[in-house]
């Protein structure tokens, strides 16, 4: 039998690759997991209470558009967090509860990226490195994924000014993650405004992945919908995606949402009615309670802030350390430390200290020659700060001790994200 070729270019997913790299070797110490962004902080107790209280709802098919109470809670949160008026976040027109944000990030490309643009195969612009769902979504929609390198030179965000006009002419979607996974870089209001002007000039949509928006050091990151409202941009120009996975430590609840103009939401809902799976009713009630409570989010943020401080203290003088602005990952440049590349450094950490990190190249792709070529993650590892604080400190100390030596004239000066 034949198989489709449209996904034949996808590499093996990051974590099977990591298992193949590490699992044939014994760990050098008690394992410390820092490879997967799987939140370990407590989730609020009222979640299980809400599920139990509404457990009878498991017998019913959930509504495709989500429960009114959940949509209203999300609308209220958007208004409070980003200052959006109701005509920009109407719960009946602009909110789409998701069964995990990955569902929306993938399906939005199918629902909203046209089959052709200006008579050509469409292009979908992706940050590189990136959440791997984006590339698969572009291919599923019949588009060409275009990888824009996000390096220290670009502030770890895509340089959209480097995209040629002829490519912008066939661009239908630009994905942007802010705060960025894995680098923790934040797109400021000016950056969003500039991207919105570019999208309006060349008529493409922006898919704003803001799943890490509530984990930050001091200043709340601005949102794409917020900037679109302040600049008077077309509400259909942006689809913003948010999640309870990181904000509320509820990755297993599989609850997030998309917010956009009424036309985009209508198209996404229609597609899901044929091939999607709404969140079960009791889980929607739990999600509603989470979006209406900020106390647990502030507590969660404080726990991550303590880990940021620990990383600054332990790794601050290590060559290649960059203090993240937000999110819960460290994007460590190991080009002048360890073995000089991400794969070798991840293996060295595992074999000598039992610390499990992810090679940066597994989150990125080779870029086209016109964008500089090469894989921008090759000399990096990603370390997740999700374990309890004492485990994180042990992992950070091991990273310092195993990889902290200089290579090729490293200066030991901390980089800035």
State residue 10's pLDDT score: 87
**Range of weakest confidence among 20-24, 94-98, 371-375:** 371-375
Span 291-318, pLDDT tens digits = 999 999 999 999 999 999 999 999 999 9
Q: Which two tokens stand for residue 289?
A: 């309670």
- Is domain 14-37+296-407 classified as CATH 3.40.50.10860? no
Q: Which two tokens stand for residue 290?
A: 């989470």
pLDDT at 207 over 90: yes
pLDDT at 223 over 60: yes
Contact present, 165 and 197 (Cβ < 8 Å): no
State residue 416's pLDDT score: 45
State residue 405's pLDDT score: 63
Whose tokens are 């590892």? That residue is 381
Q: Where are the domains of the chain?
A: 14-37+296-407, 46-293
Q: Is residue 258 very low, low, confident or very high in pLDDT (cuts 50, 70, 90)?
A: very high
The DSSP line for 15-68 is HHHHHHHHTTS--SSS-EE-SS----SPPPTHHHHHHHHTGGGGGSPPPTT--H
Whether the full predicted model's pTM is greater than 0.85, yes or no, is yes
Distance CA 204, CA 198 (A): 8
Where are the strands (E) in 129-247, listed by range?
A: 144-149, 171-177, 205-209, 238-243
CATH (residue range 46-293): 3.40.640.10
């Amino acid at each position: 039998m034949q198989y489709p070729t449209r996904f034949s270019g996808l590499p093996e997913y990051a974590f099977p690759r990591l298992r193949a790299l590490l699992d044939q070797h014994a760990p050098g110490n008690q394992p410390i997991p820092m490879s997967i962004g799987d939140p370990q902080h407590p989730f609020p107790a009222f979640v299980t209470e809400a599920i139990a209280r509404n457990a009878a709802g498991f017998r019913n098919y959930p509504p495709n558009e989500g429960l009114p109470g959940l949509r209203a809670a999300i609308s209220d949160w958007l208004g409070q967090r980003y200052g959006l008026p109701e005509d920009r976040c109407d719960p009946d027109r602009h909110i789409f509860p998701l069964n995990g944000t990955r569902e929306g990030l993938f399906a939005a490309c199918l629902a909203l990226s046209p089959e052709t643009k200006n008579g050509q195969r469409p292009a979908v612009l992706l940050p590189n490195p990136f959440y791997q769902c984006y590339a698969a979504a572009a291919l599923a929609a019949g588009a060409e994924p275009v990888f824009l390198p996000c390096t220290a030179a670009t502030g770890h965000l895509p340089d959209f000014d480097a995209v040629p006009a002829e490519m912008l002419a066939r661009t239908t979607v630009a994905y942007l993650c802010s705060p960025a996974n894995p680098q923790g870089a934040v797109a400021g209001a000016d950056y969003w405004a500039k991207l919105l002007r570019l999208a309006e000039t060349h008529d493409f949509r922006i898919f704003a992945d803001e799943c890490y928006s509530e984990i930050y050091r001091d200043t709340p990151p601005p949102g794409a919908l917020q900037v679109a409202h302040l600049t008077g941009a077309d509400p259909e120009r942006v689809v913003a995606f948010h999640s309870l996975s990181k904000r509320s430590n509820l990755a297993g609840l599989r609850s997030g949402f998309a917010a956009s103009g009424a036309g985009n939401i209508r198209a996404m809902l229609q597609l899901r009615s044929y091939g999607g799976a709404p969140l079960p009713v009791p889980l929607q009630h739990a999600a509603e309670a989470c979006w209406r409570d900020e106390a647990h989010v502030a507590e969660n943020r404080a726990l991550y802030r303590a880990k940021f401080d620990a990383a600054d203290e332990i790794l601050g003088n290590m060559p290649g350390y960059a203090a993240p602005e937000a999110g819960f990952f460290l994007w460590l440049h190991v080009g002048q430390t360890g073995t000089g590349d991400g794969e070798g450094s991840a293996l060295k950490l595992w074999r000598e200290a039992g610390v499990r990190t992810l090679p940066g190249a597994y989150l990125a792709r080779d870029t086209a020659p016109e964008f500089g070529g090469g894989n921008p993650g090759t000399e990096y590892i990603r370390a997740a700060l999700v374990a309890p604080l004492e485990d994180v400190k042990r992992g950070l100390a091991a990273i310092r001790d195993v990889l902290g030596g200089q290579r090729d004239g490293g200066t030991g000066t901390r980089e800035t994200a």
